[in-house]
Structure 1
Amino acid sequence: MDVTRRMARWAKLSEPGLISFLFQILLGIGVVLLFWVLDGLVDYLVFGGKPLADFVLASETHHDFALVFFLVCALLLYSRRAHRNEAALEKALQNALEEAQRERAKMEGIFEALGEAVSIQDPDLKVLYQNPAHQRMTGAHAGRYCYEAYRKESAACAGCHILGSFEDGKVHRAELGPEASATGGYVELIGSSLKGSDGKPLFGIEIVRDITARKLAEQETAALNAALTHQAAELQQANQELEAFCHAISHDMRAPLTRVYSSAQELRGYREQLDDNGRFFVDLVHDGCIQMEALLDSLMVLCRVTEVEISCTTFDLVPSAREIAAQLRQDYPERPVTFRVPEQLPVYGDPQLLRVVLENLLSNAWKYSAKVEAPVVELGSQRTEQGETLIFIRDNGAGFDSTRAGQLFQPFKRLHTYREFPGTGLGLATVRRIVRRHNGRVWGEGEPGRGATFYFTLPG
């Protein structure tokens, strides 16, 4: 412990302040001794009669020595206290400077770490600081006025976002194009201010963002929207022309078709007077008229589902499915089809249009399972990961080649001949159009001889 105390004492003695104090003590002793000698010299010159040494060494001759000694000691003590105060003030000032430097380094570190370009300006718009991102974007301009550095102007720009923030204390934004920005591209300027306790602005903080990519994307989007709008108008006009064409064909063809059909019906009354070729051609004309009439009816349905306005609601699909199945059993009593359906199947859509979907899909399932000994048709549903309602109709009938599934929903495209399975080739096209109007999807899966399954989705 003694060794530690001695080391601490010597460490204190080595401090500059203590050395200065010792110097002051020695200086005071020197002043006192000098006064002592001068006092004896004055007495020698005034009184004389004795040697100078007697006056210097005689203590009775130094009557005011105690006063001088007291004054010197007081001066030394005051000097020591003043030195201590000065040292404390210097230390406090040094700590304050170090703290300010740490805060400045922290602030610069934050600004340098930001991906945004940041600069700080004084109330006269002179650039005080730029982070590296700001320097890379606009160049190094610290010490210059911003309007001189960035715009080559001699005065503050009209509508300056920093001056606006100085006035009202709010955040102001501005956008510059390639012709005005310092970067040669599109930039967004964000200005805010820092004010003192008296409300006067101290600093202006500016953030510069390069928005060239966003602006170009907006321009491309606007051009694309304009092109899409134009295409949509052309498509709407084409659809209207196509619908008018379908209506014209459906209505205008019925009159000559009726005459041909009526004539074929009359000719069938003369079958006994015709040979085999005549009867064959009469039957061919009669069957062709029936097929043409079914085709015109399907074409009219396809046109109507495009024109009709959708009115969606939540309803149960099962009652409609049961009615359609009952009608199919009456139309084809020779086909003992097993129809499986859930107790309930709630969906959201247009009841009339979705009934058309069920009519087409269930009649297809009934038709293509005609050559199976124990035909089964199933209606079911499930939920997709996207929250949609997925409805399927499955049969164990003829099926189809999945590699040709893309042709199923095209008008007049059939994967089986008319003699194998009669039809118009418009049923699945109608289904696709209705499902698309519900913002859903439709597709089919199958395998020859092992049945088929058709799926379509509806909003959740």
Structure 2
Amino acid sequence: MELKSRVFSWARLSEPGAKSFLLQALLGGGLTFLFWLLQAAIDYFLFGGNSFYKYLLHPDRHQAAEFSLVVFLVCCLLLYSRHSHQLQAQLQAALKTALDKSEDDKVKLRGIVEAMGDAISIQAPDMTIVYQNRAHVEMMGQHVGEPCYQAYRQEKEICPGCHLAAAFADGKVHRAKVSPEPGNGNRYVEITGSVLNGADGRPALGIEVVRDVTAQRLVEREAAQLNLALTRQATELKQVNRELEAFCLAVAHDLRAPLTRIYSSAQELQGYCDLLDENGRFFVSLVNDGCVHMESMIEALMILCHVTEMEMAPAPVDLAELVQELAAQLQLDHPGRKVTLRLPERLVVQGDRELLRIAMENLLSNAWKYTSHVAMPLIELGSFGSEQGELVIFLRDNGAGFDNARAEELFKPFRRLHSALEFPGTGLGLATVRRIIRRHNGQIWGDGTPGAGATFYFTVNG
């Protein structure tokens, strides 16, 4: 145990601080001993009367007090020196830790800057380049120590409108989109200039971040060209639609005059039925029915053109109220039919009331017509929320239904999935509905099963 204690004490004395204190203590002891000898020598030569050894070994009280004071001062000096050394060692350790941390942070910061995809350079206030990261060197070449305007633009002075000069002037961030190489119009960069203030609050360094946006610029250019082409096509399509609508209106209007004459003639021929045989009466009846059907088709065609060109006046519209009114009118027109109607209390959407009335009239008339062969006809209006958060409205019936494989044909003009003799109609009702729904930025689709009814879904974003 004693051996361990001696080894530990010697190890502590072997430390740099302990060695320094031991040397200081020896120096202090030597100085004290030297003072003792000098004091004895001075007293011997100045005062005499006693031997040198007596002055050295048997000092009087004044000499002993002076020697004690010197010993005390030397001890204080040693303690102060020890404390100063410890404090210096702590400060040196803290300084070393701070320097190591600073160097570590510097390495990390340099690594981050080097790893960034953007090209970064740092300029002094006189525009001399003091740093470039790897990406900047690859893009612009190595130019540290050169003025940026000379290195990048081959200019003799700061470029007019320089973003970094503006940042040095006002301390704000400035951006610019330029081509980094003179005469190279196929490469574009976005440059961001900002400043780093020094301890005095004044701009000390300028930071320039260069991002290659050539691909983005090309995409923007292609998008602009595509938008221009689409705008041109949309304008042409709009013009074609106007001409087509004008043509349809003109045809419908011009057809009415000869159709009226044919219908009037057929009506007059019915007065001569007694003079005609059975075949003659059949053909007169066929002409009369054809005129009525043609009149219905012309009316439907004019409505189709009308819903396309009429101005919209969006407002809250209660579809449940509209269907209730339309169903009441259908019941008056067909007093012998009993149809069960299920409606919500309210079903309000934003749209043009007149257009939505035409759409609901066509949908309800279809449901009314295709449930005519059902013993207990049922028509239901309802809604639900879609996964995209839209309100989906539906009109369901338990009538004849249709084949889902041909559902898209329902919305094409003059396309029919049922016989005209079984279910008469113009073939324009659902085409008109789709045009109205599209004008309300919505979609419409159908779902049916032959003999088990049909459901039409649509959205309205007017």
TM-score bin, normalised by smaller chain: 0.7 to 0.9
Deviation at 1:144, TM superposition (A): 3.7
Deviations 1:259-302 (A, max 9, x none): 11000000011111112222122111111110111011111111
Alignment partner, residue 109 of structure 1 = 111
Alignment partner, residue 400 of structure 2 = 398
Q: CA separation in 1, counterparts of 2:420 and 2:383?
A: 31
Deviation at 1:16, TM superposition (A): 9.1
Alignment partner, residue 364 of structure 2 = 362
- Which amino acid is the alignment partner of residue 189 of structure 1? I
Q: Which segment is superposed worse, 110-119 or 392-401?
A: 110-119
Alignment partner, residue 433 of structure 2 = 431
CA contact (8 A) 2:189 2:214 kept: yes
Deviation at 1:95, TM superposition (A): 5.4
Q: CA separation in 2, counterparts of 1:449 and 1:252?
A: 40
- In the alignment, structure 1 segments of 5+ residues that lack a partner are 34-57, 60-69
Q: CA separation in 1, counterparts of 2:236 and 2:200?
A: 65
- Which amino acid is the alignment partner of residue 207 of structure 2? I
- In the alignment, structure 2 segments of 5+ residues that lack a partner are 35-51, 54-69
CA contact (8 A) 1:368 1:397 kept: yes
Q: Which segment is superposed worse, 263-272 or 152-161?
A: 152-161
Change (3 A) 1:446 1:11: same
Deviations 1:341-388 (A, max 9, x none): 222222222121111111101111111121222222222222223332
What is the correspondence of 1:87-126 to structure 2 with a 5 Å cutoff? 94=96, 97-126=99-128
Alignment partner, residue 284 of structure 2 = 282
Alignment partner, residue 213 of structure 1 = 215
Q: CA separation in 2, counterparts of 1:445 and 1:248?
A: 36
Alignment partner, residue 235 of structure 2 = 233
Alignment TM-score, normalising by the size of structure 2: 0.80
Change (3 A) 1:450 1:91: closer
Alignment partner, residue 292 of structure 1 = 294
What is the correspondence of 1:308-387 to structure 2 with a 5 Å cutoff? 308-387=310-389
- Which amino acid is the alignment partner of residue 165 of structure 2? L
1:270 aligns to what SS in structure 2? helix
Deviation at 1:409, TM superposition (A): 0.5
Q: Which segment is superposed worse, 140-149 or 429-438?
A: 140-149
- Which amino acid is the alignment partner of residue 348 of structure 2? P
Q: Which segment is superposed worse, 83-92 or 406-415?
A: 83-92
Q: Match for 2:175 among 163, 173, 176?
A: 173
Alignment partner, residue 47 of structure 1 = none
Change (3 A) 1:88 1:332: closer
Deviation at 1:5, TM superposition (A): 6.5
What is the correspondence of 1:1-80 to structure 2 with a 5 Å cutoff? 3=4, 6-7=7-8, 9-10=10-11, 12-13=13-14, 15=16, 18=19
Aligned residues: 427
Alignment partner, residue 147 of structure 1 = 149
- Which amino acid is the alignment partner of residue 111 of structure 1? V
Change (3 A) 1:135 1:17: farther
- Which amino acid is the alignment partner of residue 225 of structure 2? A
Alignment partner, residue 304 of structure 1 = 306
RMSD: 3.8
Alignment partner, residue 256 of structure 2 = 254
Deviation at 1:459, TM superposition (A): 3.0
Deviation at 1:310, TM superposition (A): 1.3
- Which amino acid is the alignment partner of residue 196 of structure 1? G
2:411 aligns to what SS in structure 1? coil
Alignment partner, residue 273 of structure 1 = 275
Deviation at 1:197, TM superposition (A): 3.7
Deviations 1:312-343 (A, max 9, x none): 22232222212211221222233322222222
Deviation at 1:89, TM superposition (A): 8.2
Q: Which segment is superposed worse, 346-355 or 121-130?
A: 121-130
- Which amino acid is the alignment partner of residue 369 of structure 2? K
Q: Which segment is superposed worse, 220-229 or 381-390?
A: 381-390
Alignment partner, residue 195 of structure 1 = 197
CA contact (8 A) 2:12 2:18 kept: no
Q: CA separation in 1, counterparts of 2:183 and 2:6?
A: 70
Change (3 A) 1:17 1:119: farther
Q: Which segment is superposed worse, 352-361 or 342-351?
A: 342-351
Change (3 A) 1:5 1:402: farther
CA contact (8 A) 1:368 1:421 kept: yes
Change (3 A) 1:92 1:124: farther
In the alignment, structure 1 residue 419 sits paired with structure 2 residue 421: yes
Q: CA separation in 2, counterparts of 1:393 and 1:90?
A: 86
